[in-house]
Amino acid sequence: MNANEPDDLIACHECDALIQKPALPQRTSAKCPRCGSLLYRSISSNLDKISAMTLAALVTFVIAQAFPIVELNANGLTSQTTLIGAIVALWGEQMEIMAVLVFCSTILFPLCELLALLYVLLPLRAGYVPPGLNAVLRGIQLMRPWGMIEVFMLGVLVTLVKMVSIARVIPEAALFAFGVLTLMLAVVVSFDPRALWDLAGRLGPRQSKRLTTDARQKS
Ligand SMILES: [Zn+2]
């Protein structure tokens, strides 16, 4: 293979050295020969880990949404409700903007990111490139900054709910699931989508490139 093909080169983030990118065996990492900083890790083992974590996060997400998280108190009647119910209650208290913000950061963005990651990860694990991979990966990177504010928004929700004293938070399954989900999302988010681009490149166009170099060698 031609060493000058741009796909085979990687630039060090620390010292900008341009290094030819070796294919890594499982559970190893490549370090910069000049400054010793980590360039990248082998993805094959990471891919399994991150797929499992994403699936687990999705299950935890469903648990967090399905179980009651607040107890509403209206006219002496108490009723337990889920996060969605709390958002609807916020909306009912003339706090529409807060309701929309809490909905986007605690439900919409995490769910979209998890589903988009699974859409990319599962086919790549099985060995093929899903259609629209580039658009989905770019979307995931766009959503990233919004994904981590769900902790903050949940805090805001709790404070608001307390301020209007229509509800109290119940420390049960849903709240616990939210705590775990936050940790899981932190792990999922620490995954570098660049590795997926590399893998897709190796599964897709690289194969045809290898064929043409083989053909060139034969002639
Ligand atoms: Zn370096």
Q: Which is higher by pLDDT, 219 or 114?
A: 114
End-to-end, the C-alpha distance of the chain in Å comes to 15
Residues 183 and 129 in one domain: yes
Q: pLDDT tens digits for 136-157?
A: 888 887 877 766 566 666 676 6
Residues 108 and 5 in one domain: no
How far apart, in whole angstroms, are the C-alpha atoms of residue 182 and residue 94? 28
pLDDT of residue 59: 93
User: How many Å lie between the centroid of ligand 1 and the Cα of residue 100?
Assistant: 44
> What pTM value is reported for the model?
0.69
**R_g (Cα) of the chain, nearest Å:** 23
Residues 86 and 175 in one domain: yes
DSSP single-letter state for residue 149: T
Write out the residues surrounding ion ligand 1, Cβ under 5 A: 12, 14-15, 17, 32, 34-35
To 5 degrees, how large is the angle CA 165–CA 167–CA 168? 105
Domain annotation covers residue 219: no
Tokens at residue 60, please?
């935890």
DSSP bridge pairs for 74: 77
**Structural domain of 29:** 1-41
User: How many Å lie between the centroid of ligand 1 and the Cα of residue 59?
Assistant: 40
Residues 52 and 7 in one domain: no
